[in-house]
A and B are shown apart, each in its own frame.
Chain A
Amino acid sequence: MSLAAWVRRARTPAPAPVKREYAFFEPADLFDLDIKDDPEASPVLCCTGDPAGASAFNALWLKRIATSGRYAAAVSVRGQGNTPAAEGGLEARAHDLVQAAVNVPRQAVLIGHKEGAAWAALAAGRYPAAALVLVSPEKVPKQPPTPVGGPPVLIVVAESETQSKEAQTAADAYGITPLTFAGSRDDVFKGAGAEGLLDAILSWLASKKD
């Protein structure tokens, strides 16, 4: 975040506060003696463009992330799930994500799915995320803000959309080659494809020591 961007933001009206739905799962919640909370591993905060919001991650994601020893959380931005709708576009949703991120106990990895990827990209421009993961990104700005603190960035797209314009824009913006996963971009929440995707993300995170 540049100083000029901060000055601009401090002088525009802040989005109306909403009571956000926030789901989290800690390794201790699994009641499994073999799984230990890893204090070195960064917590993970997920969001999705899916209208279900945070609850979409309940089926598989949160538990599986917790199994890897990480604190796992998901947030519904305004208008999703149990979070009331409120005015504001992309910026206000990024604001919701940043507000959720600072509530996570430690510096968090941001994972954004579909439109959530655009919010995560904007949020990473004003919050020093531990890592930024964009899954099947949609509506990511052509020139997203430079992520603060220089976190590692990963883009994951479904095999079917490797050639899609949305995915290409995001990949060009960050100058990285996307990782592909088998399956459709709409079933990332459960099923075999989803598990493979999640394991790929978690092993990437582990390799980055975040």
Chain B
Amino acid sequence: MQEYSSQAAYDRGEAVCVIGAGASGLIAVKNLRENGFEVDCYERDTVLGGLWNPQNQHSPLYPNTHLVTSRSQTEIPDFPMPDDWPDYPSASQMLTYLTAYAKHFGLSEHIWYGSEISAIEPVEGSRFEVVVKPAAGNAARRLRYAAVIVATGHHWSPNLPSYPGLDQFRGSVLHSSQLKDPSRLRGKHVLVIGGGNSGADIACEAAVNAASCVHSVRRGSWHLPKYLGGEPADYALARLGSRPKFLRRFLTDRLLKGPASLAARMGVAAEGRPSAEEPVRNGRYMEHVGDGSIQRRGEVARFDGFDVSFADGAEMRPDLVVLATGYRPKFTSVEPRLLGIEGDSPYPKLYARMFSPRMETLAVAGLVEPGVGVLPIVHWQTHAIAHWLLVRKSDPERAANFRVQVRSESEQDTARPAGSSPRHQLAVDAEVYLASLGRIIDTLEQEPAK
């Protein structure tokens, strides 16, 4: 323990520690402040905005990243985006938006940049000792907090697949997050691996910039254009939720009939009901498949010198391979046990997808893939977390009842069959999850019985 400047921890009393100043972290800080908490937010990078900031060294942005969910479904509920912005704002607009949010609510003064959390240790029952390691040389500091909210996101640690011969491949291989500049695609024969949103987007970039583009996907997935019936697709589908139940199925099928038959024609359709997992939202992809500028192939079997062989026996010689294979959740500071991470799976098991199953005062914000905009979900999550911390302080009896409710909510949640791919471990049905969040918030906001 010589590396620490002092053994004694500085006690921050009732203050709450938020880890990460990305979108989720900023929303957490604002909602906690609104409920009267002192907050210290630690960001290991030197900028705010998390994944939306290209200056962040872990930023996953690729050329021409845009939102895949529309503005009205993605904006923070109490801080709408300017209504003259496009339906699908770009990454730089998202950064402008988050910066404005931080400035509007005066969040920057609570953020400590360049401070990585190296460890979180439970002490004195429900409190935490946090070890903060500044990036620039200084000795680590120890502080004690009443609660910790982890908002480190799950789009920064690349998921790199292994293929036979990949390490001896003679062309260049990049993960989607390393492809910062679209000019790297120009004139190249490009192979894009991965059928998610980033894979489809990068394949579309390569379709117009590269000499040729082959898109390798392991399996079909559900594709959705960005507009349906003259409206942003997610809005059009969400709106059906307010229709009577007997009409909903019929109207949804009618709305999805065109895109579904197009997907079947292009051979990209997934098996099973479309709503089972998060769709790929891209309006241009089908057009590029249709005009041949994207060639779809199956799974890659192996790399061999300059060549790549596919599972169906076809071969190609790409100049550039882009691995759009997504990210794995990674927690560097918290002991995995506290988040319910057990065995080999990197995916935590949390109560209601936010509360630690072990510690009452540890929560995670934004670790869901709801298939709709994440920002509003995080807003309601942190709203619930802030109210939970208030209730816990003021009324232990209600707090105990609440724990029971949250546990039963999460049991309902895990009873549902999980998505078919490991990537969909974090997926939730937005409708169901929001209803569950609504019940949680209602319980927490009830006037205490006197």
**Chain A residues in contact with chain B, CB under 8 A?**
1-4, 6-8, 10-12, 14-15, 17, 19, 95, 98-99, 102-107, 126-128, 148-149
Contacts and interface: CB of A to CB of B under 8 A. Distances in A.
Given A2-B438, A3-B434, A11-B238, 19 more contacts: A3-B380, A3-B437, A3-B438, A6-B376, A6-B380, A10-B73, A10-B77, A11-B239, A15-B83, A17-B84, A19-B84, A99-B80, A99-B82, A102-B82, A106-B103, A106-B105, A107-B105, A107-B106, A126-B78
Contacts of B10: none
B106 A99 contact: no
A127 B78 contact: yes
Chain B contact-residue range equals: 20 to 34
Contacts of B73: 10
B254 interface: no
Contacts of A149: 34, 78
Interface string B225-245: 000000000010011011000
Contacts of A102: 79-80, 82, 100, 104
B93 interface: no
Nearest to B83: A17
Nearest to B74: A10
Contacts of A128: 34, 78, 105
Residue among A2, A95, A104 facing the most chain B CB atoms (10 A cut-off):
A2
A96 to B, nearest CB: 9
A4 B438 contact: yes
B441 interface: yes
B27 to A, nearest CB: 12
B65 interface: no
Contacts of A4: 438
A7 B434 contact: yes
A106 B103 CA distance: 7
Given A105-B103, A107-B105, A98 B80 contact: yes
B96 interface: no
Contacts of B238: 10-11
Q: Would you call the interface of chain A mostly helix, strand, loop, or mixed? A: loop
B390 to A, nearest CB: 12
B72 interface: yes
A37 to B, nearest CB: 15
Contacts of B77: 1, 6, 10, 126
Listed from nearest, the 7 A-B pairs whose CB atoms lie closest are: A17-B83, A6-B77, A3-B438, A149-B34, A11-B239, A17-B84, A11-B242
Given A6-B77, A17-B84, A106 B441 contact: no
14 contacts: A2-B438, A2-B441, A3-B380, A3-B437, A6-B376, A10-B73, A10-B235, A12-B239, A95-B83, A98-B80, A99-B83, A106-B105, A128-B78, A128-B105
Nearest to A17: B83
A1 B78 contact: yes
A132 B380 CA distance: 23
A104 B380 CA distance: 24
A99 B441 CA distance: 26
A17 B77 CA distance: 18
A14 B104 contact: no
A148 B78 contact: yes
A120 B120 CA distance: 44
Contacts of A7: 434
Interface string B83-103: 110000000000000001001
A107 B104 contact: yes
Nearest to A8: B242
A1 B77 CA distance: 9
A22 B78 CA distance: 21
A141 B142 CA distance: 51
Contacts of B434: 3, 7
Nearest to A3: B438
B72 A10 contact: yes
A107 B100 CA distance: 11
